[in-house]
């Protein structure tokens, strides 16, 4: 299991229903993903973040919490299944933060919200000899994800 898979599993379990705990878990997960990505990229767990990195992380968390607050406000009118499915999208979005910090040269990464499936796909980035590949995994893959997969390999830098 990769460090990202472990983080996603932990996040999924922690964010099943809206509430202060879920809100906190979203912020914690993005922060953990950011640190883990830097560790994977540099080989060292950072003791702290640079000003630019802090800004970057803060923006990612703020964007998610904004979506979360809108979701929490609507949740009472949604079915239990819809709430659970929507909650899991917040785990998927952690991938965007992780991959963005892991591969800062990529303009687009799975889970960053730039594809029409938003964070609902199961796509990942895999490192191969010829560069980085956007990998489609079992689960939903929208046309945008398929185009990103077909467009690889991408530069590692
Ligand atoms: Zn997609």
pTM for the full model?
Answer: 0.93
Tell me the C-alpha distance between 117 and 142, whole Å.
Answer: 6
- Enclosing H/E stretch for 42: helix 20-42
Q: Do 116 and 52 fall into the same domain? A: no
pLDDT at site 108: 96
Mean pLDDT of 57-72: 96
Query: Residue 115 C-alpha to ligand 1 middle, in angstroms?
Result: 5
Query: Residue 51 C-alpha to ligand 1 middle, in angstroms?
Result: 32
pLDDT tens track for 79-130: 999 999 999 899 999 999 999 999 999 999 999 999 999 888 889 999 999 9
| Token pair belonging to 152 | 């690889």
Q: Do 60 and 121 fall into the same domain? A: no
| Token pair belonging to 16 | 């099943």
Rounded to 10 degrees, the C-alpha dihedral 16/8/113/62 comes to 70
Query: Residue 109 C-alpha to ligand 1 middle, in angstroms?
Result: 10
CB 119 within 8 A of CB 113: yes
Tell me the C-alpha distance between 67 and 26, whole Å.
Answer: 11
Q: How many domains does the chain have?
A: 2
Query: Residue 148 C-alpha to ligand 1 middle, in angstroms?
Result: 9
Q: Do 70 and 117 fall into the same domain? A: no
Q: Do 38 and 92 fall into the same domain? A: yes
Q: Do 146 and 86 fall into the same domain? A: no
């Amino acid at each position: 299991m990769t460090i990202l898979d472990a983080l996603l599993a932990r996040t999924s379990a922690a964010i099943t229903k809206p509430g202060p705990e879920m809100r906190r878990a979203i912020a914690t997960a993005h922060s953990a993903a950011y640190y883990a990505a830097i560790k994977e990229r540099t080989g060292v767990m950072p003791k702290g973040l640079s000003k630019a990195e802090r800004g970057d992380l803060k923006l990612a968390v703020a964007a998610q919490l904004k979506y979360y607050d809108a979701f929490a406000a609507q949740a009472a009118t949604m079915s239990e299944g819809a709430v659970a499915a929507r909650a899991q999208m917040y785990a998927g979005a952690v991938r965007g933060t992780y991959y963005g910090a892991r591969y800062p040269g990529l303009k687009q990464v799975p889970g960053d919200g730039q594809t029409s499936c938003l964070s609902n796909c199961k796509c990942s980035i895999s490192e191969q000899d010829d560069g980085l590949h956007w990998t489609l995994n079992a689960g939903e893959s929208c046309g945008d994800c398929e185009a990103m997969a077909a467009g690889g390999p991408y530069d590692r830098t």
